[in-house]
Amino acid sequence: MRFVPFVVILAALMTVIASPAWAITNGSADGAGHPEVGAMLAAKAHGDGTWADCTGTLISPTVFLTAAHCGEKGQKTARVTFSSHYRQGDQVYTGRFEPDPRFDVKADPFDMAVVVFDAPVPGIKPAVLPEAGLLDRLKTDGSLAATRFTPVGYGSLNPNSGKHGSRYTYTDTRNLASISFKKLTGRWLQLSLKSSADGSTCFGDSGGPNFLGGATSHLLVATTISGDDDACKSTNFDYRLDSASAREFLGKYVTLP
């Protein structure tokens, strides 16, 4: 699911055609910084020998959050690794793949899915989910505009553009970056590169977390869904987890703050 058909994102009153995300660009290896962030693995290795398809986050000992478009139609199970640099033979957890039933690939304001494991994933502390309306409150008090976010994922690194299009490099490694706030709508958190300090997400980062704050934050406020350019250097569209629609789905699987 690194390269999937274009999806339509409904953001505010504007319809945007976007290429589903993506990988961490202009970032660095996360190492042990976010052990709760894992990769959904393909059924077989890709042509370059790598395995990661999408990214996601452990939000309870038995629940892994990702994007609905990371699954195939009718998919029942998914394989997940939490290795910071996955190699074949590393620990893999298989769980039940449950997309939000409201999701439609042609218009995706409900692009969420969970992987539910039969037993708790040992030794990993789940990410913290936000309280209802957290981002709205930060916008109201004026602090959101200056807030930085930390996306984490296993996606492509720094795509190279050529006459035949962009070229993407995958390493099955968990990376992170820092990115600036752009805009907040009812369901979407839009983030963008405003300075040389900013990084972005790219193909393979779909479903991955955007943590509120710096590199040590584990407060998961939005999941990576799409971006508006194939070079992975422009606006990121991330699905808010503090919205009523997101909490309706998440509340079926975890206890919400």
Q: What is the pLDDT of residue 233?
A: 65
Higher pLDDT, 257 or 159: 257
Q: For the residues 160-175, what does the mean pLDDT come to?
A: 74
Task: Give the 3-state secondary structure of residue 168.
Answer: coil
Burial of 206 (0-12, 13-18, 19+ CB in 10 A): buried
User: For the chain, which residues make up each domain, given as ranges?
Assistant: 7-250
Q: Which residue has the higher pLDDT, 158 or 169?
A: 169
- Give residue 211's pLDDT: 98
pLDDT value for 20: 42
Give the confidence band of 152 by pLDDT, cuts at 50, 70, 90: very high
Q: Which is nearest to 199 in space by CA: 168, 170, 158?
A: 158
Helix (H) or strand (E) run with residue 28 in it: strand 28-29
Q: Which of these CATH numbers, 1.10.357.140, 1.50.10.20, 2.40.10.10, 2.30.110.10, describes 7-250?
A: 2.40.10.10
The per-residue pLDDT for 254 is 98
- Indicate if the pLDDT at residue 124 is higher than 90: yes
User: Coil, strand, or helix at residue 160?
Assistant: strand
pLDDT of residue 197: 78
Tell me: cis bond preceding 22? Omega within 30 of 0 counts.
Answer: yes
DSSP output for 215-227 = TT--BEEEEEEEE
What was the pLDDT predicted at 234? Answer: 66
Determine if the pTM surpasses 0.85.
yes
Question: In the predicted model, is pLDDT for residue 6 greater than 50?
Answer: no
